[in-house]
Amino acid sequence: MIEARIKELRRLIQVHNYRYYILDDPELSDAAYDHLMRELQLLEAQYPELITENSPTQRVGTAALSAFASVQHEMPMLSLSNAFSEAELQAFDQRLHDRLKLDEASEIEYIAEPKLDGLAVSLLYRQGQLAQAATRGDGTTGENVTQNIRTIAAIPLLLLGKDYPDVLEVRGEVIMPTAGFDAFNAQARAADQRTFVNPRNAAAGSLRQLDARVTAKRPLDMYCYAVGKVEGDAIAVTQSETLSKLRAWGLPINPKTKVVQGLHACLDYYQSISQQREKLPYDIDGIVYKVNHLAAQQQLGSVSRAPRWAIAHKFPAQEEMSRILSVDFQVGRTGAITPVARLEPTFVGGVTVSNATLHNMDEVERKDIHIGDTVIIRRAGDVIPEVVRVIIADRLANAEKVNIPATCPICDAEILRQEGEAIARCSGGLNCSAQVKQAIKHFASRKAMDIIGLGDKLVELLFDHDLVSNIADLYQLKAADIAALPRMGEKSSTNLLNAIEVSKKTQLHRFIYALGIREVGEATAKALAKRFTDLNDLIETTPEILQEIDDIGPIVAQRVYQFFQQASSQESIRELIAQGIHWSVIEANAIQKDEELPLANHRYVLTGKLSQFTRAEAKSQLEKLGAKVSASLSKKTTALIAGEKAGSKLKKAQALNLTVLDEAALYTLLH
């Protein structure tokens, strides 16, 4: 009776673990789950003779080891060769075609998955029970980390189902998700303890603890990506089927894993994951492609320590070493003073970086940044490059401390820092040319009025030649004045004036965002436009009414209220509207969701020369209608838009049997 209940509880806990960790679809509340666990713990405490090694209560051992035993991997744990460019990946695909004697036209089926930045481990299940876990080590000999692995909740101690092989070795990557990493470091910092440099070191450091009770407190997770030794029936004929089986037995498989056909689909997958990279809950450093059919894998075999049938397509490194040459202070749109490090030019994240933000003086102090320091810099995705940390051991004797100036480097007004605020600000307001320039840049930017072609450099040029001194001046620009500017001509002058003209027809939320009200980003602007379909109502509102809007708190409400109270703001709005800026009230009423836009789920590729648009304009207009515009063709491409002198892309589109549109068709599409 008691024994039956204990077994039932273990089974229930196992099933709910599976739903929670593997299917990501929990059925029980945390409290109800804890309740089951508690009941099991109580029963086991009463009847210790009924405790089994793989009961879910037995994940954490009680004694620390003096050393890890070594484990011989019967099948070596291989590593991967790398590709750092599309060309290298293409060469890989070509090599496989040659070796498999496939003709050009046939596409190899690959399985693509993120390359996780953690450490590789091997899990050995005997009769469905976790019997041993080992690190990769040098590929042949690893360390026995069974006790530590057992503390990772995502890893099943018992496999589900019945059809698993008698002996099953599963391989995968143990990771520390970024949220857990940040929380761990924040806690360590608060307690003045050692922090980890990155999630990979944190995962490795946490797993290789002699005391599993320490590991148990670390937020580790795991994804499995392969099998090693298997005794019993063959599992599957493809890699993807193998992974499905593993998942059904309760092992964690990365949900982003995808079967793709051919090189181009690999590249699309790479693009798509690159774009999601910053939002993924864990660090990745590339994509792994593997030939999906196991028979083809066999045929291809391995060279030295890497299989021929797989490759890691690496993202450009996001962290590199550099040196701080000097520190300047930049003035932002709201007067915020940002210290910026001038760096020895360094190739990182796919581009050469020579500046990195230092955020504010608190950060400079916290990271103990000196001029002359050797530093690790990071450029992740489109995020502004930053200094991660100083290599203190390399500090030179003449390294200089960073001091904030007393007055604005642009307008000489006093720099003030309010009590409790990290940010110091120039007190010059609109007398500070830096603040005005930034306001104009913001006004013209893509999510604001979207004046195509009016970027930072051109704003500087217009301002420095006294053609604009505020946003409303943009709408009074004369063609001849623009054309007379250095490096401008009639054509670029006409383009700019056209873009300014086009920007007059806008949407209320863009206009509100464009005004550059402090604390009002795109989302707040949308919320305001939804609540106040008439701009005059917004101008005349009160902080109380503003606070009734979801997500608007007292600070934002006060900022918005103060902004519209100022005579200068009202004057500027009147002037802009007098210049012809307008929006339709219906549009303001129904801010469309992306998926409702007319070209949602359409993908285009642009090639060749267009006569009525620049490529950037065509791209921007397509995107406004919800379309995706990508650089390379794939089977998912809706159509190739080919201007004059289209070359290889056009040929490829024809080969792929894709729709090809000319400029006239594009024009129709957009109107």
Touching ligand IVH, residues 632-661 (CB under 6 A): none
Q: Which is nearer to ligand IVH, 271 or 620 (CB)?
A: 271
Which residues, including other chains, have CB under 8 Å from residue 434's CB and lie 6 or more apart? 330, 331, 332, 408, 410, 411, 426
Q: Which residues pair with 306 in a beta bridge?
A: 303
Structure tokens at 423: 């940010």
Q: In the complex, what is the shortest distance from the CB of residue 286 to ligand IVH, in angstroms, rounded to a whole number?
A: 8
- Rounded Cα distance between 528 and 508, Å, is 9
Coil, helix or strand at residue 126: strand
Distance of CA 71 to the CA centre of its chain: 37
Q: Which is nearer to ligand IVH, 118 or 428 (CB)?
A: 118
- Rounded Cα distance between 621 and 627, Å, is 9
Distance of CA 585 to the CA centre of its chain: 35
Touching ligand IVH, residues 295-324 (CB under 6 A): 307, 310, 312
Q: Which is nearer to ligand IVH, 307 or 349 (CB)?
A: 307
The DSSP result for 250-291, as a single string, is T----TT-EEEEHHHHHHHHHHHHHHHGGGSSS-EEEEEEEE
Stretch of 2-10, 78-86, 206-214, 501-509 contacting ligand IVH, by CB under 6 A = 78-86
Q: In the complex, what is the shortest distance from the CB of residue 173 to ligand IVH, in angstroms, rounded to a whole number?
A: 5
Q: In the complex, what is the shortest distance from the CB of residue 132 to ligand IVH, in angstroms, rounded to a whole number?
A: 18
CB 451 within 8 A of CB 616: no
- Taking CA atoms, 523 is separated from 95, 462, 472, 479, 512, in Å, by 49, 30, 24, 35, 11
Options 41, 52, 54, 79; binder of ligand IVH; rule CB under 6 A:
79
Q: Which is nearer to ligand IVH, 316 or 429 (CB)?
A: 316
Q: In the complex, what is the shortest distance from the CB of residue 158 to ligand IVH, in angstroms, rounded to a whole number?
A: 25
Q: Report the chain's C-alpha Rg in angstroms.
A: 30
- Rounded Cα distance between 655 and 287, Å, is 27
Q: Which is nearer to ligand IVH, 137 or 409 (CB)?
A: 137
Among 7, 101, 115, 478, which one carries the catalytic annotation?
115
- Rounded Cα distance between 479 and 214, Å, is 70
- Rounded Cα distance between 234 and 295, Å, is 12
Touching ligand IVH, residues 278-297 (CB under 6 A): 288
Q: In the complex, what is the shortest distance from the CB of residue 142 to ligand IVH, in angstroms, rounded to a whole number?
A: 11
Q: In the complex, what is the shortest distance from the CB of residue 282 to ligand IVH, in angstroms, rounded to a whole number?
A: 10
- Rounded Cα distance between 115 and 381, Å, is 16
Touching ligand IVH, residues 347-366 (CB under 6 A): none
Contacts with ligand IVH, 242-281, as mask; x by CB under 6 A: ----------------------------------------
DSSP, res 453: T
Touching ligand IVH, residues 552-581 (CB under 6 A): none
Any contact of residue 373 with ligand IVH (CB under 6 A)?
A: no
Q: Which is nearer to ligand IVH, 239 or 503 (CB)?
A: 239
Structure tokens at 3: 């024994």
Phi, psi of 416 (to 5 degrees): -120, 150
Q: Which is nearer to ligand IVH, 308 or 615 (CB)?
A: 308
Neighbours of 166 (CB within 10 A): 12
> Following CA atoms 141, 143, 147, 153 in sequence, which dihedral angle do they give, to the nearest 10 degrees?
-80
Q: Locate tokens 């493809």: which residue?
A: 238
Which residues, including other chains, have CB under 8 Å from residue 141's CB and lie 6 or more apart? 70, 71, 72, 73
Options 6, 9, 71, 80; binder of ligand IVH; rule CB under 6 A:
80
- Rounded Cα distance between 507 and 586, Å, is 10
Stretch of 72-80, 241-249, 565-573, 577-585 contacting ligand IVH, by CB under 6 A = 72-80
Q: In the complex, what is the shortest distance from the CB of residue 273 to ligand IVH, in angstroms, rounded to a whole number?
A: 11
Touching ligand IVH, residues 82-141 (CB under 6 A): 113, 115-116, 120, 136
Stretch of 73-81, 94-102, 150-158, 545-553 contacting ligand IVH, by CB under 6 A = 73-81
Q: In the complex, what is the shortest distance from the CB of residue 285 to ligand IVH, in angstroms, rounded to a whole number?
A: 8
How many residues belong to the site for ligand IVH (CB under 6 A)? 15
Q: In the complex, what is the shortest distance from the CB of residue 62 to ligand IVH, in angstroms, rounded to a whole number?
A: 30
Options 78, 174, 341, 517; binder of ligand IVH; rule CB under 6 A:
78
The closest residue (CB) to ligand IVH is 120
- Angle between helical axes of 2-17 and 30-46 (0-180°, round to 10): 150
Options 96, 226, 267, 633; binder of ligand IVH; rule CB under 6 A:
226
**Any catalytic annotation for residue 115?**
yes
> Following CA atoms 291, 294, 295, 301 in sequence, which dihedral angle do they give, to the nearest 10 degrees?
70
**Which parts of this chain interact with ligand IVH (CB under 6 A)?**
78-80, 113, 115-116, 120, 136, 173, 225-226, 288, 307, 310, 312
Residues acting as catalytic residues: 115
